[in-house]
Amino acid sequence: MSVTRWAWLLLVPLSPISGQRADTTSLDPQQLEARFHYQNGHIVIGPGLATLNLPPTFRYLDPKETEVVLTTWGNPPGNATLGMLVPAGTSVFAPESWAVVIQYDEDGHVDDADAGSINYPKLLKDMQQQTRDENKERAKAGYPAVELVGWAEPPRYDLVSHKLYWAKDLHFGSETVHTLNYNIRVLGRGGVLVLNAVATMEQLQPVKTGMATVIGFVDFNEGNRYADFVAGKDKVAEYGIAALIAGGIAAKAGFFKVLLAGILALKKVLIVAVVAVGAWLKRLFGRRTTETPQQPPQ
């Protein structure tokens, strides 16, 4: 991992984490970690939305503490999350660390009818081409080119549990180490639980093993499950499984727009939305051409 990410520690606000903000410019990673309140066991996230039944191998940080970690890692402030999962036994600030950021996208019930007919090799080629096409816009905005090298883990969808996972091998600019973007989606009645892990390709095996555990202990609560959907009453998402993988959620403005400034490899930046988000980028840059010129979003 690049050591330059530690420079972001000078900007981390907490006092203690769950309370009022305070100056923490003098705090080193160990002092920051000592203020975290890791939770274990049975965790309910959102307003009764879903439950995490954590095994001893994982710990949970609430949204406020997750914000501190994300900002420390180099992400812009103001990230809306449901918290973060951190492997036990390793500091979240250690060079070899990785974590799983949890979000909820309330776009509606995702129809999984296309799950069995998706041509994943073709989908990958389409995503790779779109990524190359978007690099011109990234360059104009001052960000490094991104190459979608391929699947680090090909997409798999379970029709029974309504859980989906896949992983991408990404290469940023001239970096020698590739970035791993590992994704889990849990489909529910009115939306999708979004779980993303960012690491390096060198960490593929531990991340793959850890995410195989994560997908098993995350579930919607009764009333919010996929089977609880009421046709004709509940909102239906405008995309299916293929778009979910290709960037259907990321394509709309919202949480992901604040991550554009963080498209830098190997700084543990949330890069979950940098691939196959052409519609979003066109909307973002197109809108800016009609406004007073200004710097890219921070």
Domain boundaries, the chain: 3-288
- In residues, how long is the chain? 298
Residue 149 three-state SS: strand
- Residue 108 near residue 234 (C-beta atoms within 8 A): yes
> pLDDT tens, 280-289?
333 333 333 3
Other CB atoms within 10 A of residue 14 CB:
22
| Statement: the pTM of the whole predicted model exceeds 0.85 | no
User: Could you give the CA distance from residue 263 to residue 74 in angstroms, rounded to a whole number?
Assistant: 10
Q: Find, among 69, 103, 100, 72, the residue nearest to 87 by Cα.
A: 100
Mean of per-residue pLDDT scores for the chain: 77
CATH topology of domain 3-288: Jelly Rolls (2.60.120)
Please check whether residue 268 is in contact with residue 5, taking contact to mean a CB–CB distance below 8 angstroms: yes
Q: Assign 170 to helix, strand or coil.
A: strand
pLDDT given for residue 154 in this prediction: 96
Structure tokens at 294: 């200004």
Which pairs count as long-range contacts for 153-161, CB under 8 Å and 24+ apart, including other chains?
Answer: 153/182, 153/208, 154/120, 155/118, 155/120, 155/123, 155/245, 157/112, 157/115, 157/241, 159/112, 159/115, 159/116
pLDDT in tens, 158-179: 999 999 999 999 998 888 889 8
User: pLDDT tens digits, residue range 185-229?
Assistant: 999 999 999 999 888 899 999 999 999 999 999 999 999 999 999
d(CA 265, CA 186): 26
CA 129 from centroid of its chain's CA atoms: 22
